[in-house]
């Protein structure tokens, strides 16, 4: 059940705030709202850790938050890679056999004309693509600041954590369908209208948040999470304060315990501000 008011759950004991990026924290132009910077300072002073959680790579997230204070945690690659102050906290690699099988499957699906796909093989150091057309690169570059074009993505030397696919059509009917045979052994998640990610079994944002809580000694009751899309479902379960923004996917609205205003109305920022106010003792 989702209360209509976003003020329904604002515990003074909150120590960890995790927010999805696109469609949740970022504004309508895909930018970090300016109001967030002062809020980050207030959260740090209040002993609250803030963690962006995204399908974007770590290098991209770190660049987007280069104005942030030290101690920030980045849940990157849909939970496959978690970093704090430049140090890895956790990661989940994708075995070479799976990478080869997935890339071969997606190549065949594209070459047969069943979908127009662009494959991104995501490593810890960089992401790698074979397609060099501007139409595809314009879609990939906002998410992968470190992006290298190579002749063969299967020949790169890096620790691979994810295979991402951009589908110029419907990701559910195209890229996700192409990866159907991987669902029993791996994590296949639709992370946007045009993006699908393949990761190791059991890898998702929820597992990453749980590992982060264990590392920081923070409980589920002390955690607030914001999300909007299907790749946020598992991490909503790891927080007593799970918020879906008003513009969220119907399944996310159903799964979350509470609702915040949409990203266009800066719902995450408004809720965090009220959370911080809840931490201030009132006479």
User: What is the full per-residue pLDDT of the chain (283 aa) written as tens digits?
Assistant: 444 444 445 556 899 999 999 999 999 999 999 999 999 999 999 999 999 999 999 999 999 999 886 778 999 999 999 999 889 999 999 999 999 999 999 999 999 999 999 999 999 999 999 999 999 999 999 999 999 999 999 999 999 999 999 999 999 999 999 999 999 999 999 988 999 999 999 999 999 999 999 999 999 999 999 999 999 999 999 999 999 999 999 999 999 999 999 999 999 999 999 888 876 543 3
Fold of 96-199: 3.30.1240
Maximum Cα–Cα distance across the chain: 69
Distance CA 235, CA 237 (A): 5
116: exposed, middle or buried (C-beta count within 10 Å: 0-12, 13-18, 19+)?
Answer: middle
CATH of domain 16-92+204-278: 3.40.50.1000
**Which pLDDT score is estimated for 5?**
45
Q: Which of 20, 167, 197, 228 is catalytic?
A: 20
Asked if 216 and 89 count as a contact pair (C-beta separation under 8 A), the reply is no
Compute CA 283 distance to the chain's CA centroid, rounded to the nearest angstrom: 39
Distance CA 138, CA 10 (A): 39
**Which pLDDT score is estimated for 11?**
59
Strand partners, 227: 244
**Total residue count of the chain as it appears in this document:** 283
Compute CA 84 distance to the chain's CA centroid, rounded to the nearest angstrom: 15
Within the chain, all domains assigned CATH 3.40.50.1000 are found at 16-92+204-278
Q: Which of these, 11, 7, 92, lies nearest to 267 by C-alpha position? A: 7
Within the chain, all domains assigned CATH 3.30.1240.10 are found at 96-199
Q: Tokens 């980050």 identify what position?
A: 40
Compute CA 197 distance to the chain's CA centroid, rounded to the nearest angstrom: 11
Distance CA 3, CA 207 (A): 26
Strand partners, 88: 83
167 noted as active-site residue: no
């Amino acid at each position: 059940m989702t209360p209509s008011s976003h003020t329904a759950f604002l515990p003074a004991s909150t120590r960890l705030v995790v927010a999805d990026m696109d469609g949740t924290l970022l504004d309508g132009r895909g930018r970090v709202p300016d109001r967030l910077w002062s809020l980050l300072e207030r959260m740090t002073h209040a002993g609250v850790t803030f963690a962006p959680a995204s399908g974007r790579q770590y290098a991209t997230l770190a660049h987007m938050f280069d104005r942030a204070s030290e101690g920030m945690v980045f849940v990157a690659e849909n939970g496959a890679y978690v970093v704090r102050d430049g140090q890895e906290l956790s990661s989940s690699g994708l075995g070479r056999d799976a990478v080869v099988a997935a890339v071969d499957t997606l190549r065949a699906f594209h070459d047969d004309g069943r979908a127009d796909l662009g494959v991104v093989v995501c490593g810890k150091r960089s992401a790698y693509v074979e397609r060099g057309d501007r139409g595809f690169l314009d879609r990939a570059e906002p998410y992968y600041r470190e992006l290298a074009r190579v002749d063969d993505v299967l020949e790169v030397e890096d620790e691979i954590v994810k295979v991402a696919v951009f589908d110029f059509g419907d990701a559910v009917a195209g890229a996700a369908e192409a990866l159907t045979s991987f669902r029993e052994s791996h994590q296949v998640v639709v992370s946007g209208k045009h993006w699908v990610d393949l990761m190791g079994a059991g890898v998702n944002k929820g597992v990453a948040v749980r590992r982060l809580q264990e590392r920081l000694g923070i409980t589920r009751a002390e955690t607030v999470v914001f999300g909007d899309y299907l790749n946020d479902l598992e991490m909503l379960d790891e927080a007593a304060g799970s918020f879906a923004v008003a513009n969220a996917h119907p399944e996310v609205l159903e799964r979350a315990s509470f609702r915040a205003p949409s990203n266009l109305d800066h719902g995450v920022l408004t809720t965090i501000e009220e959370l911080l106010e809840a931490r201030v003792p009132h006479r």
